[in-house]
């Protein structure tokens, strides 16, 4: 009889250990590892604002802050945020863009303080009026000149700098 009790106790203990092991394995495998928080940085993008008063100036653009993933290509990231346009909250605050949707940065270089930004033809597609052209130039210029390495901006479309963004 003692032998039967010993065998039953051993079987029960083995079942308990097996059950506990299975439970712990299941619990640990179900946990999602939380990735480390992504490093971010803040850039400014410049938009026009319809609530700036009666003295509207086409060249007057206002900065809004955007938090983006940290990058070494910060000027390009800032332009990408600019081309994404105002957020819903920014639109509600009167911000708007004069830049067409679908603009693509074809190249961006910064050398000796000059940023050379080349875009696709969408930048000047169906734009008209000197005020809108001035606003587009101001949005791009101010977004790039926020960086201490940029003191001058040259805008081109498909490599052309002449006769672009004309009213």
- String of DSSP letters for 60-87: --EEEEEEEE--S-HHHHHHHHHHH---
- Answer yes or no: is pLDDT of 162 > 80: yes
pLDDT in tens, 2-46: 777 777 667 766 766 666 666 666 666 666 666 677 899 999 999
- Does the pLDDT of residue 131 top 70, yes or no? yes
Helix axes 130-145, 74-84, angle to 10 degrees: 140
pLDDT value at position 29? 63
Identify the pLDDT of residue 7.
74
Higher-confidence residue: 157 or 18? 157
* pLDDT-above-70 percentage for the chain: 81
Report whether pLDDT(155) > 80: yes
Nearest partner of 45 among 69, 78, 74, judged by Cα = 78
In this model, does residue 137 exceed pLDDT 90?
Answer: yes
């Amino acid at each position: 009889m003692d032998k039967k009790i010993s065998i039953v106790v051993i079987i029960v203990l083995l079942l308990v250990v097996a059950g506990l092991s299975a439970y712990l394995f299941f619990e640990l495998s179900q946990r999602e590892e939380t990735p480390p928080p992504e490093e971010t940085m803040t850039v400014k993008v410049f938009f026009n604002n319809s609530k700036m008063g009666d003295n509207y100036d086409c060249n007057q653009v206002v900065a809004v802050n955007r938090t983006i993933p940290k990058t070494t290509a910060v000027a390009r990231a800032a332009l990408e945020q600019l081309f994404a346009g105002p957020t819903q909250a920014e639109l509600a605050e009167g911000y708007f863009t004069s830049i067409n949707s679908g603009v693509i940065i074809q190249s961006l270089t910064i050398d000796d303080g000059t940023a050379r930004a080349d875009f696709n033809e969408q930048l000047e597609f169906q734009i008209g009026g000197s005020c809108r052209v001035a606003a587009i130039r101001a949005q791009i210029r101010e977004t790039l000149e926020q960086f201490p390495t940029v003191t001058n901006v040259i805008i081109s479309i498909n490599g052309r700098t002449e006769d672009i963004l004309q009213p």
